[in-house]
Structure 1
């Protein structure tokens, strides 16, 4: 079943469960128990409701009763905001909302070693690239956005070659400045061959007291 020109749903039975599967996202969107499976009289419909919202319904007959399931699909189907954000695979992404500007900010790290700052323009339904940082020597695996006690917004990014980068954001002038670059030399684990990667970042609340801490 084609939903639109860019998305396809595959519907069917897996034992006694009715499955709605997204071919594009490679994941199950809905799983509805239906004793008797495909041997029963059933129907699945997909359409647009009020204000263009997507919805679907599954109906089957059992013991002279009609069972109806409503499926609001608006939150299930992913929307491609923009293709080709990076040259290679996107490893991490984080959403950041601030009262300092309209729209939503996104920070993405990629296998190509770049950290990008995007803004989603809700009114015009478009995404804009604000900054493209190329300070990493290898892939970017994790990104984190926090505020310090001086209300300054900081971005931490980590990845291959034990590298950690810290940036300062200026939402007024749309600038992203590299404040510090750290390469973790000492580790508590046994020395191993190959690349050491920072796969995740967590900033402890209150740890960033000001510029002297960086």
Structure 2
């Protein structure tokens, strides 16, 4: 079974050009400022498969626009900035000052907290994911787009064990969140079938 894969919006020039038709009211200047802010903050960070971090951020915007039909400018800005507090030295306050309280709130929702001294990181992560059940609708769209970007090419992750654990975590926490959100419910359903070989007890791939 196949599933939809995004990745055509891999640079800012493409995003700016492709966004004009579906979302002409979105401020290219403001979104471009968010891209520049994120690009500077993430620096030379790379994704697990080696691609520049910015590609993931723009992919989230592509999924929101072309997949989920999002036209909310603040939500697209949050898509670009969703990892800057978690993965860089930038703070939530900086995000709010530059891009407004809605963006700050939504980025805050999807920022995984650092474990306190003595806390189990796995439990902190699990608690964070469970907390998304109470998230506003915009946050659900943002998180679902982020996770779909992360898992749509799960077979390219360099660590086979991480592929299986990420598949299990996605099925446990994110697939239920997609219920009732038409695009994501269908997309994650197709994705789950495409990667069902990663389930516990499934036979190991021979190639």
TM range (shorter): under 0.3
Provide TM-score, normalisation by structure 1: 0.24
Structure (1 or 2) with the greater strand fraction: 1
**TM-score normalized with structure 2 length:** 0.25
When Rg is computed on C-alpha atoms for both structures, the one with the higher figure is 1
